[in-house]
Amino acid sequence: MHDLDPTDECSVPNQHSTAHPIAVQRPRRIGILLNGLDGKANTVALRFLILEMNRIQRTFEYEFLPFERDDLLETLRSQMRLNRTDIKSQTADFHQRYRAYLAGLNKDFLLKEAPPDYFIVVCLATFDDDYYTTRKDRVSVIALGNWERHMAPPSIVEFLLTLIVREAVASVSPLLGGSVHLGTKGCLCDFTPQLDDARFKVLNAFVCGHCANALSTDKLPQLVEELQFVLSKKWLGLTSKVGTPAAIALKLGHDLFATKGLQPTFWEQALKTLQEEGTKQILTLIGAVVGAVLLVWFGIKGS
Ligand SMILES: [Zn+2]
């Protein structure tokens, strides 16, 4: 399972690169398409968590956009192992027709803001070379088909949040647009040739010295601090604390700390119910004891 390869178009900062450094005050807009996840994931909770990243940093602005039937999107819904080179050969045309489709919707609804110029397609496909992301022509594809439950922690949702951030970085930093370093450092840009190593880039929330220098050279020095905050996922908070993203995600039906995959297994759901019922029973017991004490107290006072 690999991240990217050096042959990805955006791996080399030249005139064909998909990455363009941007001014800090204008966030890089990223359109996200959850392709083929309906019915297989809690997409409401997923969209909520991705959009929460808009609130906690300033360099990127993620947005969800409508999409209709499209040849590339249909291919990426396939259960077959897909040839990654073949997918990359289709991204330029996809980018063109998808932006035209969005521009048409804008025109129909008299909307003012132009569509974003960079898209991330999230799907459950599997590439035949075991890479799990690829990008070309301002389109990134995150293929989660290779994720396996034994890789948790991190959960697949944590994994996805990190991969989206990785693609966003590639969209603004020419120097970090392709594969960066062989060493597994727990850095966002780890190449991760070993399956189990991929988890470290998610769990460690780290940007290494090489990558920090690259961002500085690409005139994005502020991004290092932002990335480390976003990657730390402390902003998710606790499911037990009202108003935190984790608590809201739980209300939307996804327990970030109990669910490893896109949906809870029977046992994860059973454990969650047991915990909830256990808490309810303890509260009921406390209520009964307090009631009994009060009854006795008033009984003594009244006698
Ligand atoms: Zn690095």
Top-level CATH class of 9-264? alpha beta
State pLDDT tens for residues 164-176.
999 999 999 999 9
The Å distance, Cα 171 to ligand 1 centre, comes to 16
For ligand 1, an ion, list residues with CB under 5 A.
Answer: 187, 189, 208, 211
The Å distance, Cα 210 to ligand 1 centre, comes to 6
Domain boundaries in the chain? 9-264, 267-303
Beta carbons of 56 and 106 less than 8 angstroms apart: no
82: region left, alpha or beta (phi > 0 left; psi from -120 to 50 alpha)? beta
pLDDT score of 259: 76
Of 198 and 165, the structure prediction assigns the larger pLDDT to 165
The Å distance, Cα 265 to ligand 1 centre, comes to 34
pLDDT score of 89: 97
pLDDT score of 268: 66
Distances (CA, A) of 257 to 114, 261, 273: 37, 11, 14
199 — pLDDT class (breaks 50, 70, 90): confident
pLDDT score of 25: 64
The Å distance, Cα 278 to ligand 1 centre, comes to 44
The mean of the pLDDT values for the chain is 84
The Å distance, Cα 184 to ligand 1 centre, comes to 9
The Å distance, Cα 203 to ligand 1 centre, comes to 14
State pLDDT tens for residues 60-102.
999 999 999 999 999 999 988 999 999 999 999 999 999 999 9
pLDDT score of 12: 32
Those residues with Cβ within 8 angstroms of residue 2's Cβ, 6 or more apart along the chain or in another chain: 129, 130, 131, 132, 191, 192, 193
On the question of pLDDT at 1 being above 60, the answer is no
Of 35 and 79, the structure prediction assigns the larger pLDDT to 35
Of 4 and 141, the structure prediction assigns the larger pLDDT to 141
The Å distance, Cα 125 to ligand 1 centre, comes to 27
Those residues with Cβ within 8 angstroms of residue 194's Cβ, 6 or more apart along the chain or in another chain: 184
On the question of pLDDT at 180 being above 60, the answer is yes
In this prediction, residues 272-276 reach a mean pLDDT of 64
DSSP β-ladder status, 119-123 and 126-127 = unpaired
260 — pLDDT class (breaks 50, 70, 90): confident
On the question of pLDDT at 279 being above 70, the answer is no
On the question of pLDDT at 15 being above 50, the answer is no
pLDDT score of 194: 63
> What pTM does this model have?
0.81
pLDDT score of 41: 85
